[in-house]
C-alpha cells in the first residue's frame, strides 16, 4: 500500500512504494548504505536525470563522511532494508546535485571524478565551474529546482563488516590498519605471494601518506609517520624485485633516498635493480655505498658484486658473438 507522509525534515516528502523488512537499521559513523537510485525532474514528464541501474553499479554512501548531497543520508536513514521509496525534495536540498551527478557520471565513464576540480569546499567549487560538461546538469546548476529521488535500499553495513577504503577511515582507523596490513604483507611474503604482499604494503603506505599530508614536513608528527613509511616502502620494493619490476624499484628507492640518503637497505635494493637492468656503474656505486654505510652488509655486497661481475662478463661474451655474427652475415 502506498503511504505518503512528511519526513520530520523541512522541504521533504516521502512515499513508500514497496515496504522493507525488519526495523530501521542502527547507524553509526562509518556505516555504509548500498542502494540504487533514480533522479527525476518534478515536471509533467517526470524526466529522468540519472539512473544507477543504467550506469550498471549501485551507489554507496558512508555515514558521517560529508557526502556533498547531505539530504541523501537523511533519506536513507528513514528506510528499511529492501524498501523502495520516492522522495520529493525542494531546492534547499538539491542545490549540490549537479556536482554530485557530474562525479558519478565521470566514474561510470571511467574518468577521474575530480578532474579539473580545485581543492575548495563544495559550494566554492560550484562557483568555479563554468560548465559541468553535461547540458542537463548545467541547467540544474543555473536553475535550482525540486527533484524526485526514487531509492531502493539493499543493505546497511557496520564499519567492522566491510573493508573500508582508505579515504573513508578516520585518523585512528588508519593508524590501527597499518600494523595489520604490515603483518598481512609479511605473511604473504612467506608464502611467496609477492604481488598480494606488495598490495598490502602499498595500502599501508597510502594510509600513512594521507596522515602525513596533514602534518608539517620534517616536524615531529611528520617524522614519526615517516619512520613507519620507510620499512613499508622497502618491503614493497623487495616484492617488486621478486616480481621483476626493476624500474619501479629504481623509482621508489630513489625517492626514498632523496629524503634519507643514509639508508643502506634502500641503496642495496636500488643496486640490485640497477644490476638487473645492466646499469653496471650505478649498481657498483650503490653497492659500495652500502658497504660504507653498514659494514655488517659487507659480505652480502661482496657476493652481489661477484655475481654482477660474472653476469657482465657473460653478457660481454654474448654481445661479442652477436656482433661477430652480424658482421659475418653482412660480409657474406
* 99 and 218 housed in the same domain: no
**For residue 135, with 0-12 CB atoms within 10 Å meaning exposed, 13-18 middle and 19 or more buried, which class applies?**
exposed
* 268 found inside a domain: yes
Measuring CA to CA, which residue among 43, 221, 58, 289 is closest to residue 154? 58
Is the overall model pTM greater than 0.75, yes or no? no
Sign of the CA dihedral with 245 first, then 248, 254, and 257 last: negative
Higher pLDDT: 28 or 232? It is 232
* 200 found inside a domain: yes
- Angle at which helices 264-276 and 280-293 pack, to 10 degrees? 160
Residue 267, C-alpha cell as written in the block: 641503496
* 190 found inside a domain: yes
Mean per-residue pLDDT of the chain: 84
- How many domains, in total, are found in the chain? 2
* 206 and 108 housed in the same domain: no
Instruction: Give residue 123's domain range.
Output: 4-157
Predicted pLDDT of residue 327: 56
Query: pLDDT for 296-312, tens place per residue?
Result: 999 999 999 999 889 88
Query: pLDDT for 208-262, tens place per residue?
Result: 988 888 889 889 999 999 999 999 999 999 999 999 999 999 999 999 999 999 9
Across 16-30, 157-171, 213-227, least confident range: 157-171
* 131 and 258 housed in the same domain: no
What CATH number corresponds to the domain at position 225?
Answer: 1.25.40.10
* 128 found inside a domain: yes
* 218 and 295 housed in the same domain: yes
* 16 and 123 housed in the same domain: yes
* 28 and 122 housed in the same domain: yes
What CATH number corresponds to the domain at position 15?
Answer: 3.10.50.40
Average pLDDT over residues 77-90: 94
Last residue of a domain, one of 157, 192, 216: 157
CB atoms within 10 A of CB 50: 21
* 317 found inside a domain: no
Query: pLDDT for 101-138, tens place per residue?
Result: 888 887 776 654 445 444 333 333 434 445 778 888 88
* 147 and 245 housed in the same domain: no
Higher pLDDT: 132 or 59? It is 59
* 184 and 147 housed in the same domain: no
* 290 found inside a domain: yes
* 187 and 78 housed in the same domain: no
Q: Any idea how long the chain is?
A: 332
* 76 and 208 housed in the same domain: no
Amino acid at each position: 500500500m502506498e503511504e505518503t507522509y512528511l519526513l520530520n525534515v523541512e522541504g521533504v516528502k516521502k512515499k513508500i512504494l514497496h515496504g522493507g523488512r525488519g526495523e530501521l537499521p542502527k547507524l553509526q559513523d562509518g556505516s555504509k548504505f548500498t542502494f540504487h537510485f533514480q533522479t527525476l525532474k518534478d515536471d509533467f514528464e517526470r524526466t529522468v536525470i540519472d539512473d544507477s541501474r543504467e550506469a550498471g553499479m549501485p551507489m554507496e554512501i558512508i555515514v558521517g563522511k560529508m557526502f556533498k548531497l547531505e539530504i541523501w543520508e537523511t533519506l536513507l536513514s528513514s528506510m528499511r532494508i529492501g524498501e523502495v521509496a520516492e522522495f520529493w525534495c525542494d531546492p534547499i536540498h538539491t542545490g549540490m546535485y549537479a556536482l554530485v551527478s557530474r562525479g558519478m557520471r565521470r566514474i561510470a565513464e571511467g574518468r577521474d571524478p575530480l578532474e579539473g576540480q580545485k581543492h575548495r569546499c563544495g559550494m566554492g567549487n560550484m562557483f568555479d565551474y563554468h560548465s559541468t560538461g553535461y547540458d542537463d546538469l548545467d541547467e540544474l546548476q543555473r536553475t535550482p529546482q525540486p527533484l524526485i529521488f526514487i531509492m531502493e535500499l539493499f543493505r546497511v553495513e557496520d564499519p567492522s563488516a566491510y573493508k573500508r577504503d582508505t579515504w573513508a577511515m578516520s585518523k585512528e582507523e588508519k593508524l590501527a590498519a597499518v600494523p595489520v596490513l604490515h603483518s598481512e604483507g609479511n605473511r604473504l611474503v612467506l608464502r611467496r605471494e609477492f604481488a598480494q604482499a606488495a598490495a598490502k604494503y602499498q595500502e599501508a603506505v597510502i594510509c600513512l601518506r594521507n596522515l602525513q599530508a596533514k602534518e608539517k614536513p620534517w616536524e615531529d608528527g611528520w617524522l614519526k609517520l615517516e619512520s613507519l613509511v620507510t620499512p613499508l616502502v622497502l618491503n614493497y620494493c623487495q616484492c617488486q624485485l621478486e616480481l621483476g619490476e626493476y624500474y619501479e624499484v629504481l623509482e621508489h628507492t630513489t625517492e626514498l633516498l632523496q629524503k634519507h640518503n643514509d639508508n643502506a637497505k634502500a641503496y642495496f635494493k636500488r643496486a640490485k635493480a640497477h644490476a638487473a637492468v645492466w646499469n653496471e656503474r650505478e649498481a657498483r656505486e650503490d653497492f659500495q655505498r652500502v658497504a660504507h654505510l653498514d659494514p655488517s652488509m659487507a659480505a652480502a655486497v661482496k657476493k652481489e658484486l661477484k655475481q654482477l661481475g660474472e653476469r657482465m662478463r657473460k653478457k660481454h661474451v654474448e654481445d661479442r658473438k652477436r656482433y661477430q655474427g652480424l658482421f659475418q652475415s653482412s660480409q657474406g
